[in-house]
Amino acid sequence: MRQALKAAVASRGYVDFSRRTGNSAYFEDAPEYREWLNAEFTRWGNVIRTAKIKRE
């Protein structure tokens, strides 16, 4: 499964579509993705708390 997903992300069609829509084609395994996602939650959580942003 991992190899199939990695191949799909590297495929010409996916890469071209990503570029046309302003995105980048990038593959991460589950542990790396989890680490990135946790870091983003921490980063943006701190921004929200510092700016005292509240839900309406």
Q: Measure the CA–CA gap between 31 and 26, rounded to whole angstroms.
A: 15
Q: Measure the CA–CA gap between 50 and 56, rounded to whole angstroms.
A: 17
Alpha helices in 1-56 (DSSP H): 2-10, 12-20, 30-50
Q: What pLDDT, on the 0 to 100 scale, is given for residue 12?
A: 95
Q: What pLDDT, on the 0 to 100 scale, is given for residue 24?
A: 87
Q: Is the pTM of this model over 0.85?
A: no
How many other C-beta atoms lie within 10 A of the C-beta of residue 43? 10
Amino acid at 18: S
Q: What pLDDT, on the 0 to 100 scale, is given for residue 26?
A: 82
Q: Measure the CA–CA gap between 45 and 2, rounded to whole angstroms.
A: 30
The mean pLDDT of the chain is 93
